[in-house]
Amino acid sequence: MNGRGLKNSPSSQRRLGPSPPQYLTKQQKVVRLDGLDPSRRWDDESSTEHHLNEAQPMRKLISTLFISLDGVVESPDKFVRPEMYADFPEEVDTALAEQDAVLMGRKIYDEWSVFWPVSDIEPFATFINTTPKFVVSSTLREANWQSSTLISHDVAGAIANLKAQPGKAIGVHGISLVQSLLLSGALDELRLIQVPAIAGSGRRLLEHGGPPIQLDLQSSRSTRTGLNYLVLTPQR
């Protein structure tokens, strides 16, 4: 859901708001975030999550991404046909209703904090402008966008504390951030909208040479335009 892609495509229709924004980032590597080491999974005995109160259900970290047949998730406006954006309104409405916080990386914050405050693309504009936003960055000095909080130190601990607080699911945006959370075992749910197109170039969901990540399919749905909407959970 790319601010620029939305702005220039028929996806500036009411429903989808931005096509998954994660694709705005141009950063070319997985970020080793402070305290969020991709080589150490959050289900390790020593992880921060084990020190939280297990009596309270943990909030889920959920990421939604368009993905081409060759695995590209960057700049979906380049391979998603305009009519496809309005092909899954139920999923969009459900996603917005079940989230009450957003976790995002620096690149996405820089783009969105300029685009969305003046956008009238609904329902996403109202959602993203008013929903609490947590920005993961070691270089950003301040986050002035409405309802934004900067996370610059002990990222793993901050995210674990956020998940332990009462509330709904937390949406995750930004390719590098999603990659780091997926590799570390912290991402709870991955929603892939598979597009019947070959992008040819662009950043892929995983660009590292590590071991395979096993996923369990929770649900799937195909649309009239050929999109496959997959809800997946990483195996623990």
Residue 132 φ then ψ, to 5°: -55, 130
pLDDT confidence band for 53 (50 / 70 / 90) = very low
Average confidence (pLDDT) over 146-167: 94
Whether 24 contacts 108, CB under 8 Å: yes
pLDDT given at position 236: 81
- How many C-beta atoms surround the C-beta of residue 144 within 10 A? 8
- ∠ CA 104-109-115, rounded to 5°: 130
Q: How far apart are CA 140 and CA 162, in angstroms?
A: 20
Nearest one of 139, 121, 140 to 129, comparing CA atoms: 121
pLDDT confidence band for 209 (50 / 70 / 90) = low
Whether 32 contacts 210, CB under 8 Å: no
pLDDT given at position 55: 55
State pLDDT tens for residues 58-101.
999 999 999 999 999 999 989 999 889 888 777 888 889 999 99
Whether 197 contacts 222, CB under 8 Å: no
Q: What percent of the chain has pLDDT over 90?
A: 63
State pLDDT tens for residues 12-28.
333 333 443 432 333 33
Residue 31 φ then ψ, to 5°: -85, 130
Tokens of 36: 């969020």
CA 5 to each of CA 12, 22, 89, 121, 227: distance values in angstroms, whole numbers, following the listed order:
9, 12, 18, 12, 18
Tell me which of 112 and 22 has the higher pLDDT.
Answer: 112
Whether 84 contacts 227, CB under 8 Å: yes
Residue 74 φ then ψ, to 5°: -85, 140
Give the chain's domains with CATH numbers: 3-27+53-234 (3.40.430.10)
Burial of 65 (0-12, 13-18, 19+ CB in 10 A): buried
pLDDT given at position 156: 93
CA 142 to each of CA 135, 149, 188, 190: distance values in angstroms, whole numbers, following the listed order:
10, 8, 28, 29
Residue 212, pLDDT above cutoff 70: yes
State pLDDT tens for residues 166-181.
999 999 999 999 999 9
pLDDT confidence band for 135 (50 / 70 / 90) = very high
